[in-house]
Amino acid sequence: MGAPAGAGIVNALSVDVEEYYHALVFQEATAGLGGGAWESRVEPSTERVLALLGRHGIRGTFFVLGEVAAAHPALVRRIAGAGHEVACHGYRHARVDAATPPAFRADVRRAKAVLEDLAGAAVLGYRAPNFSIGRGQPWAFDVLLEEGFEYDSSTYPIAHDRYGDRTAPRAVHEVRRTPRGRLIEFPIGTVRLLGWNLPAGGGGYFRVLPGALVQAGIRRVNRCERRPTMFYFHPWELDPAQPRPPMRWRHRARHYAGTRRMERKLETLLAGLRFAPARDVLGLGRPVPARSAVA
């Protein structure tokens, strides 16, 4: 008996490396609390992710925020040293749909330079904070291509109150081509069912939905559509001990729900599906070699 359809498909695993306080819901919830710096927890939470992936022998793509990289350079070196792809999440966690083209260019150029210096490799991928490249920002793709990026993963083809474009293509596709090169879009994973795009790509949906349901959705895409999906999560989603300042119940539910179960659900997902860095799934550049971690 042959292998089931879709058994050979390798999906893309991605991690958005940022602090818990960079999350839009957290920022909205704490906007009226006044000044003061929040405790940094990105290093221990990301180390937890590295240990998790190490246990399963899986490499992924880490979309690292530039200001996090500048503050924690050894962390970026450890990510690269473990053989993971280092990609760009911008320098500041600022929405692209609120930026001008020159400001966006300056932000990604600054972040890319910092990340390439620390990782010792070209940074090919970009993901906008809060998936904030929408139909009104086509110029962002031109900037990314001009700045040397080869793929983007900022599109989430779902209906959502804060982000997403349910009319966007669900599969990997080319969004720009010029004589200088092309830019590929790798959307966050969705499954098409009864005329709707349903989330199968991670994040808050994965925290609150049954893990088996999300895994079944990814398997369906692999089997029926014969293509990979993009899955993502944040290190802070594995950190239930992060600060819990006063906030409205709807903000608290969105930000903290499922954090205590997140690591266990990821263990099951990683054991049941095949994953690799986005650049390898797309066949871009050369595979990222594992090397000794650099402190």
User: Any idea where the domains of the chain sit in the sequence?
Assistant: 11-32+39-282
- What are the b/e assignments for 194-211, b being 16+ CB within 10 Å? eeebbbbbbbbbbbebeb
CA 75 – CA 91 distance, rounded (Å): 16
pLDDT of 4: 53
3-state secondary structure the chain: CCCCCCCCCCEEEEEEECCHHHCHHHHHHHHHHCCCCCCCCHHHHHHHHHHHHHHHCCCCEEEECHHHHHHCHHHHHHHHHCCCEEEECCCCCCCHHHCCHHHHHHHHHHHHHHHHHHHCCCCCEECCHHHCCCCCCCHHHHHHHHCCCCEECCCCCCCCCCCCCCCCCCCCEEEEEECCEEEEECCCCEEEECCEEEECCECHHHHHCCHHHHHHHHHHHHHHHCCCCEEEECHHHHCCCCCCCCCCHHHHHHHHCCHHHHHHHHHHHHHHCCEECHHHHHCCCCCCCCCCCCC
pLDDT of 180: 82
Q: What is 11-32+39-282's CATH number? A: 3.20.20.370
- What are the b/e assignments for 264-290, b being 16+ CB within 10 Å? ebbeebbeebebbbbbbbbebeeebee
Q: Tell me phi and psi for residue 199, to 5 degrees.
A: -70, 130
Q: Write out the chain's pLDDT in tens, 295 residues.
A: 444 556 689 999 999 999 999 998 999 899 867 555 899 999 999 999 999 999 999 999 999 999 999 999 999 999 999 999 999 999 999 999 999 999 999 999 999 999 999 999 999 999 999 999 988 899 999 999 999 999 999 999 987 666 667 788 999 999 999 888 999 999 999 999 888 899 999 999 999 999 999 999 999 999 999 999 999 999 999 999 999 999 999 999 999 999 999 999 999 999 999 999 999 999 997 544 443 332 2
pLDDT of 290: 40
> CA angle at residue 157 from 177 to 22, to 5 degrees?
95
The reported pTM is 0.93
pLDDT of 164: 61
pLDDT of 286: 57
pLDDT of 34: 56
pLDDT of 36: 58
